[in-house]
Amino acid sequence: MSAGNDIAERKMQFLFALRSKGVTDARVLEAMEKIDRGPFVRGLFAERAYEDMPLPIACGQTISQPSVVGLMTQALEVSPRDKVLEVGTGSGYQAAILSQLARRVYTVDRHRRLVREASEIFRAMDLTNVTTMTSDGSFGLPEQAPFDRIIVTAAAEDPPGPLLAQLKIGGIMVVPVGQSDAVQSLIKVTKGEHGFDYEELRPVRFVPLLEGLGRDT
């Protein structure tokens, strides 16, 4: 089998795995077909980029397994006019997917190295509607608020108050919530006129949402 056929076969299996795990939204599947996960996985694990598994990246972080990325994106219900905040840039893969669905994506991370490397990939892919910055994501991005959608790719003990405050009325936030690494739930929060509606989606495992900036350069 030629290299081209091999990659095509792996991508077909990749999309099949997404569907089998419950990612059924046509726009999300199209975005995940278009955005190659390969460039976001470096070093020893590059050859496993098309497997449905989380993989280690720099700064002690991970790139989430694609089916979880797909399910979180699906739950976010992003429309083409939406302005989205992502807390936890990581590899940049989730933001790249969102770039195909939203009008504008702002993504923040506490690790400068991750922001720098993700920015390079975004430029190489010509993703002009993604803005990256190094900051403490637990405080959101007040200067760009309010947001139509907020996605958090690290686990908090509770949905962070500053992020809830930066969500528009009718807006949606998807966030992993849990007291420990072992017990976490993915929560969908919808902001209404008179409060918040919480829906528990599925068990997950994410790195913790930490305050402050990382010590890397």
Measured CA to CA, the distance from residue 55 to residue 135 in angstroms comes to 23
Q: Which residue is catalytic, options 2, 20, 64, 91? A: 64
User: What integer pLDDT is reported at residue 205 of this predicted model?
Assistant: 84
Whether 64 is catalytic: yes
User: What tokens were used for 47?
Assistant: 């050859």
Q: Residue 183: its pLDDT value, please?
A: 78
- Rounded CA gap, 207 and 171, in Å? 25
Q: Is 204 helix (H, G, I), strand (E, B) or coil?
A: strand
pTM of the model: 0.93
- Encode the chain (217 residues) as per-residue pLDDT tens digits: 466 677 778 888 889 999 999 999 999 999 999 999 989 998 788 888 888 999 888 888 888 999 999 999 999 999 999 999 999 999 999 999 999 999 999 999 999 999 999 999 999 999 999 999 999 888 999 999 999 999 999 888 888 999 999 999 999 999 999 876 667 999 999 999 999 999 999 988 887 777 767 665 4
